Amino acid sequence: MTMNHKEYIDWTLIEKSFNSKLSEEEDAQLSEWLSESSKHREFYLNAVKESNEDFEEGLSALKLSDLKADLFHKIKIRSRKAIYKKVLLSAAAVIPPVILLFSLFFFSRTNTNQNIIADFSPGISKAVLVIDNEKKIDLGDSICNIDIGYATIQSSDNQVTYNYKNQFTESPKINNLIVPRGAEYSIVLPDGTKVWLNSESNLEFPAKFIGETREVSVSGEAYFEVASNEKLPFIIKTDDFSVRVTGTSFNINSYADSKYSNITVESGNVIVSFPEGGQNQIGIGQKLSIDRDTKSVDIQYVELGISSIWKDGIFYFDKETLESIMTRISRWYDFMPIVISDDLKQLRFVGKVIKYDKASKVLDMLKSTEYINYTIDGQRIIIY
């Protein structure tokens, strides 16, 4: 095989990448090399797989003698002056019973989408506030103040708040904050609790918390920062479980079309109760998932901040199937996803992607792994 000298790589860069000890310049060198050839990525995949074993045996199994010869020669790579935007993206091919995972540090260059005519813009700040189950108020990113009698509703900076005029003594009215596909919004509840709502989500809450508890209902995905009040427990109801807290932060993901419903705690503790009976207490760094079909419950520790990173403008994929990824991003970009085969649906990816780029940016990053391709047809994105 004849290789261009720009494809050569110093083996120590690959070795250092296993322990996350690469400098930014070394990251750039390795990323460029990985992006240039599927054989490079195949080699790296097997290197990761065999990293806990004798690597010479891994090389023998690969039968990539041409790459072996090149890799073990320390040849300098001429660095390019172009400015890259770093996006960590990786793909795992599911080969039962073992999942093979390799990493691709992909630097997206400018003008990568020159040939794309159709595209989908990212979501915007948008919601509908339904007052007393009657009056509908459209909310956006502009500032507005609306008088509803007992309070003034203020909307600004992607957030809605209530300012009460007098002591609220009447029976609390039920309000709904509805966030459609292709949107996000947040709210400060009457007690000071802050809630961020992801696309296609709904929060039902009283105009004022009166009584011995503070109760709301949620569907879709929401991140809560509950105002502390030990005398008035905060209760969140979903179709699959209810959560009881006094003051804590956590993320709930409970979309009706998902196989699983889950809650991840980022501070404090919560008690999760189920309609069929029984309950679990989970604390900081723990994620509880319930299988909607079997009703089985799984609790595991996860990295803090990952479950809620969506509210900070990032898509994070943690060994997530392509089917799940397409469902998630379709809510944000508001398109219909079609993945043509079950094998493709089960491909798994790991990575972080900025969600305020257009859809083609995210899709190009997935495509760069050379596991998939895509086409945009009207409101559909077809993965093949």
Question: Residue ranges of the domains in the chain?
Answer: 5-81, 123-210, 237-312
The CATH architecture annotation of domain 237-312 reads: Sandwich (2.60)
CA nearest to 348, candidates 98, 113, 109, 120: 98
- Cα distances (angstroms) measured from residue 333 to each of 44, 120, 123, 173: 33, 6, 6, 33
Upper half-sphere CA count for residue 191 (Cβ side, 13 Å)? 25
Q: What is the pLDDT of residue 269?
A: 96
Q: What is the pLDDT of residue 164?
A: 77
Here the tokens at position 283 are: 């604390």
Any bridge partners for residue 280, and if so which? Answer: 272
- Cα distances (angstroms) measured from residue 157 to each of 60, 144, 225: 58, 10, 18
List, run by run, the mean pLDDT of 10-residue segments along the chain (384 residues). Answer: 45 66 73 69 60 40 39 32 35 35 35 60 95 88 81 85 72 90 96 97 93 96 97 96 96 96 97 94 97 95 94 90 95 95 88 90 86 91 94
The Cα–Cα gap between 268 and 245 comes to: 9
The Cα–Cα gap between 317 and 355 comes to: 12
Any bridge partners for residue 374, and if so which? Answer: 383
Backbone angles phi, psi at 377, to 5 degrees: -130, 95
**pTM above 0.85?**
no
The Cα–Cα gap between 197 and 184 comes to: 6
CA nearest to 195, candidates 168, 175, 172: 175
Three-state SS letters, 153-217? EEEECCEEEEEECCCCCCCCCEEEEEECCCEEEEEECCCCCEEEECCCEEEEEECCCCCCCEEEE
Say if CB 244 and CB 232 are below 8 A apart: no
Say if CB 103 and CB 58 are below 8 A apart: no
Say if CB 126 and CB 186 are below 8 A apart: no
Q: What is the pLDDT of residue 296?
A: 95
The Cα–Cα gap between 379 and 384 comes to: 16
Say if CB 64 and CB 1 are below 8 A apart: no
The Cα–Cα gap between 309 and 303 comes to: 11
- Cα distances (angstroms) measured from residue 222 to each of 20, 73, 185: 32, 51, 10
